[in-house]
Structures are given as structure tokens and as C-alpha cells.
Amino acid sequence: MATKFSLMQQGVTNLSAEAIVNGTNKAFVGKDGICQKAGHIVQQASQQFLNEQSILEIGQTFLTSGGALSSKHIIHVISPVWDDQDDEKSTELLELCYTNALEMAREKGIRIVAFPTISTGLERFPKKIAADCALSAVRKYVQQYPDAFQSIWFVCAETAEYKIYEKRWAGFLQEVGQAS
């Protein structure tokens, strides 16, 4: 069955997906808003992950429970900061984050995934570039694994980000073979 895609404007922490994705930078693992809302269990699991790592790489993922959230799991991904490398490398790294999050979901049998915008907050990615990276990476992955997911949700907390995705949405749906 083909993956269904949804675009929504709201916060991601209230959703009941099998997994929500949490983009976080190297300095903020376990301390971001999603982890704070998920509670102590997720913060503790994030700290344990950090303690076991000698180096954190951009695109690296780890899985925790959803804690106090409605979602069963959180897929955490170490996301890039916009000005830490050249623009082309930045976009490659952001696409890698989406790809690796989907890969983890597929490996764990997670069929409903919610993506908030990644790297547009503290990491300062331009919103239009971040949206293009997200849609491109997800399109490529789903074309490679067409039956891996039931649903993928793109979730924009901010109106400005939602409008950026909305302008690209019909073209994205056409590319993935889903009627709008």
C-alpha cells in the first residue's frame, strides 16, 4: 500500500503517531522542547545515549519511548547548524537527517512517522531550504521503499513554515504519486 502524506499546522508533541522525529543539535540532546514535554524517562534515555557516545555525528539517530507524549516513540536525530559548513554541505546533512530517521523507522517497523521542521530553530536553517530538503529526502526514500510506511506527516508549528510547505505541497504529492 502506498504511503499517505499529510501536511498540518500544529505542534508535534500532541500527535499520536507511532513516532515523532526530534531534530536536535549536539549541544542540546535531551534538553530540547520535545524531550522536556516527553518527561524524565526520555531525558534519562537521551543522557544514557550521550554517555555511550564518544563522538556525535550529524545524522546520527537514536530511539526512545515517547514518554509522556501521545506518540509511542521518538526518533532523535542530530541535526546540522546552518553556518557550520558551506550551504551545499548543510543541505546534504539536513537531507541525511530525514533519510536516517526514516531508515530507523523502517528498521524498527514504525509505519506512521511525524516530522516537525528540523534545523529551522536554534540551528538557523533558512525555512525554504529546510522545506526543500525535507520534501526531497522523504520523496527519495519513499520511492526507494514504497511500502515501508502507512503515513508520513509533515508538521509545521509556525504559520510561515506551513505556508512554505503549502506552496510546494501539490508538486510533492505529484512526485510521490499521491493525488492532492
Amino acid 102: pLDDT:
98
State the chain's mean pLDDT as an integer: 91
What 3-state class would DSSP assign to 21?
Answer: strand
More confident residue, 95 or 85: 95
pLDDT tens digit sequence for 26-84? 766 767 888 888 998 998 998 888 888 878 899 999 999 999 999 999 999 999 988 77
Residue ranges per domain, the chain? 4-175
Segments in the chain forming alpha helices (H): 33-38, 40-52, 87-107, 127-144, 159-175
Of the candidate CATH numbers 3.40.50.300, 3.30.1050.10, 2.60.120.560, 3.40.220.10, the domain formed by 4-175 belongs to 3.40.220.10
Burial, 150: exposed, middle or buried (Cβ in 10 Å; 0-12, 13-18, 19+)?
Answer: middle
Q: What is the pLDDT of residue 179?
A: 67
Q: Cell triple for residue 5?
A: 502524506
What single-letter DSSP state applies at residue 146?
T
Q: Of 32 and 169, which is predicted with more confidence?
A: 169
pTM: 0.94
pLDDT exceeds 90 at position 153: yes
Read off the pLDDT band of 167 (50, 70, 90): very high
DSSP three-state, residue 179:
coil
- The mean per-residue pLDDT over the stretch 10-17 comes to 92
